[in-house]
Structure 1
Amino acid sequence: MILLRTPERDERGATAVEYGLMVAMIAIVIIAGVTFFGLAVSDLFLIPAGVFKG
């Protein structure tokens, strides 16, 4: 009897690419969040700093 087997494929390269894309997307979200919220947080600290300065 001849058994038909599907050839096993090496998916390590595809997995590495997928992880790389996920890391890139997470980095983009973090950079966008820090840029957006960083300006707002900076303003929160500048207002009280002006009170103590004068």
Structure 2
Amino acid sequence: MLDYMRSIANRRRDAETGASAVEYGLLVALIAAIIVLAVYALGSLVNDSFQDTCGDIAANSGSTSDEAAACVSD
């Protein structure tokens, strides 16, 4: 009888382990989706900010070299 109870407990534990793995997998997928959406949403804002900064540096550097204006054209 004791062996029967142990086998039931072991089967139940194994079933919960599989469910936990699925839950962790879904959680990782959700976090990855949020990261992708955040990068996509903020990417253009960050790029615009860098372009503005680069333009200001190129305008105020007093240099006529192509290196100063190179970042604005990218």
Shorter-chain TM-score range: 0.7 to 0.9
Q: Does the alignment pair 1:22 with 2:55?
A: no
RMSD between aligned alpha carbons? 1.4
* Higher-RCO chain (CA-CA 8 Å, sequence separation at least 6): 2
Judging by fraction of residues, say which structure has more helix.
Answer: 2
Residue-by-residue CA offset, 1:6-53 (whole Å, 9 max, x unaligned): x32021111000000000000000010011111101100101212333
Q: TM-score, normalised by structure 1?
A: 0.76
Q: How many residues align?
A: 49
Which ranges of 4 or more aligned residues in structure 1 deviate by more than 3 Å? none
Structure 1 spans left out of the alignment, 5+ residues: none
Letter in structure 1 aligned against 2:34: V
Q: 1: CA distance between counterparts of 2:56 and 2:20?
A: 54
Match of 2:41 in 1: 36
Q: 1: CA distance between counterparts of 2:18 and 2:27?
A: 14
Q: Does the alignment pair 1:52 with 2:57?
A: yes
Letter in structure 2 aligned against 1:33: A
Q: 1:12 aligns with which of 6, 10, 17?
A: 17
